[in-house]
């Protein structure tokens, strides 16, 4: 069992599907999450392989703006889930220091937002992926993250989509090691 806090800076890019024309883009937004997870490392692989499953409460400063007549979704909160296979490529003899890499799919479900006008724009489930490079010192670990998702925001015409790209830092503590 582990607890984890994450801070990301992110930007989004909105585009029209037919010709991939850029419509809106914005950067330097912030995303934070706090959650818990489980790290499973099978004994037969000498603790080189593992799988981390996370669940977190996440907040976004705003989600993607879809059309000129609509406001971007402000102060959005979501439940976030990640399934991250892990490979440890360095570990000292006492197993107190390790360098590892994780990569896998992510899923977010929007639970609230405080946008005043939401006409013709709705939320789907947010799907994406995450890649992390991290280090573990005993029970404490930190990772540098890169992730992308489809923003979950769809316009009424379904021809306008948006992609969110995040870069961030996670800090965590393994309670059950």
pLDDT at 121: 59
Beta bridge partners of 39: 52
Q: What pLDDT was estimated at residue 81?
A: 96
Q: What are the phi and psi torsion angles at 44 (to 5°)?
A: -70, -15
Structure confidence at residue 9 (pLDDT): 94
pTM score: 0.86
pLDDT at 119: 54
CB count, 10 Å around CB of 53?
Answer: 14
User: Per-block average pLDDT, block size 10, for the chain (177 residues)?
Assistant: 94 79 83 92 79 93 78 86 93 85 94 68 83 93 94 72 92 87
């Amino acid at each position: 069992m582990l607890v984890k806090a994450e801070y990301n800076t992110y930007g989004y890019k909105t585009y029209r599907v037919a010709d991939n024309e850029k419509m809106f883009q914005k950067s330097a937004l912030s995303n934070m999450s706090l959650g818990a997870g489980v790290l499973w490392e099978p004994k037969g692989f000498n603790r080189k392989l593992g799988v981390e499953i996370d669940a977190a409460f996440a907040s976004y400063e705003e989600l993607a703006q879809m059309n000129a007549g609509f406001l971007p979704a402000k102060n959005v909160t979501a439940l976030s889930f990640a399934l991250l296979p892990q490979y440890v490529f360095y570990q000292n003899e006492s197993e107190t220091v390790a360098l590892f890499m994780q990569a896998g799919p992510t899923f977010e479900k929007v639970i609230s937002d405080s946008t005043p006008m939401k006409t013709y724009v709705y939320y789907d489930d947010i799907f994406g992926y995450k890649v992390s490079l991290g280090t573990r010192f005993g029970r404490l670990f930190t990772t540098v993250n890169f992730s992308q998702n489809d923003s979950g925001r769809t316009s009424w015409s379904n021809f306008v989509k948006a992609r969110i790209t995040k870069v961030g830092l996670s800090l965590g503590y393994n309670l059950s090691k």
